[in-house]
Amino acid sequence: MAPTHRPRLMACNRVWRRFKAVGDRDASSGTPLRVTWGRTPHPWNGDASWAVSGIHTDLGPGEGDAAAACTAAPSGRGGALGLVLGYPFDTVKVRLQTQTTYRGIVDCMVKTYRHESLLGFFKGMSFPIASIAVVNSVLFGIYSNTLLALTATSHQERRAQPPSYAHIFMAGCTGGFLQAYFLAPFDLIKVRLQNQTEPRAKPGSPPPRYRGPVHCAASIFQEEGPRGLFRGAWALTLRDTPTMGIYFITYECLCHQSTPEGQNPSSATVLVAGGFAGITSWVTATPLDVIKSRMQMAGLNQRAHRGVLDCIVSSARQEGLGVFFRGLTINSARAFPVNAVTFLSYEYLLHLWQ
């Protein structure tokens, strides 16, 4: 075995022993494991952070990669499940934003089901499932480490000395900015596949433009070059950078306001704060989300735009200002439960690793 692999294997074994110790302690006691919510100090020395599917832990130097390799699959199930449950709503949202053939949410759902069956709501889902662990790892990991760099305080110390809202906003914006570049190609492929409205396959019917995510990526690369895979990335960056700052600051503010001084937020507080953080972020993100989706579809079912500003002006002229809020209702309905569970898992795993 190569010497560079031994530290990761040793860290991997320590990760699994820690999970086993928690399970053994729970089994021997015969009672459910009691959890006190709140940020806790990292269990090992070092400040490296790791997150999977929106769940964050702190690991020692060299242990982050090993933990991801050992636990990405089981830990990613919760995030993947949330993605599967919310994906049909995302498909409807994307079609409302990029197409003018639907009169509303219900009309879009009915037409999609009639022409494409239930599978029509899940087009392009494989790439988001494959990338959700990486994307959320980047977001939560960078947020945590940026906040640590700005405040120079541990999780335990932050309970007594909460970071300023300016630091929280800056850390969230940093995570959102860097996440956008990891997310851009996956999001582009997802949107292209979601907009394929061909009916259920029948003998003699024309094949869809893209046969799957890999064929979609290869076609875009061949027809539009490497830059084509990042079509709409600038709009995505403008959407995610301030939105992630608002996302985290809303969560921290609600937790702080709803929790007595010196105590940790309850699970109910975490759920409510996480849900409203998701809604608030989507209210601010929806206008640029519309622009992002339209730019990603440029050149296929609509004319190519010269840039973000050109897309904004042309969309407003042709369809009015209301176009920038298409999909807001369905986004908000999906955002509350998904983000409530995300933050509940985030806080739970922080406690679990103490």
Q: What is the pLDDT of residue 197?
A: 84
**DSSP code at position 204:** T
Q: What is the pTM of this model?
A: 0.73
User: pLDDT value at position 28?
Assistant: 46
Tokens 């840039």 belong to: 307
DSSP state of 116: H
Mean pLDDT, the chain cut into blocks of 10 residues (354 residues total):
45 45 45 38 34 34 34 43 81 92 92 91 88 79 88 70 90 93 91 85 73 92 90 93 95 89 84 93 94 85 75 91 91 87 78 66
CA dist list (Å): 71 to 16, 77, 286: 9, 10, 33
CATH 1.10.10.10 matches 131-190+220-352: no
Residue 60 neighbours by CB under 8 Å, 6+ apart: 11, 42, 44, 45, 46, 48
pLDDT at position 354: 56
pLDDT at residue 55, as a whole number:
34
Dist. CA 23–CA 352, nearest whole Å: 11
Instruction: Give me the pLDDT at residue 280, please.
Output: 94
Give me the pLDDT at residue 43, please: 32
Report how far residue 14's alpha carbon sits from residue 67's, in angstroms, rounded to the nearest whole number: 9
CB-CB contact of 36 with 91 (8 Å): no
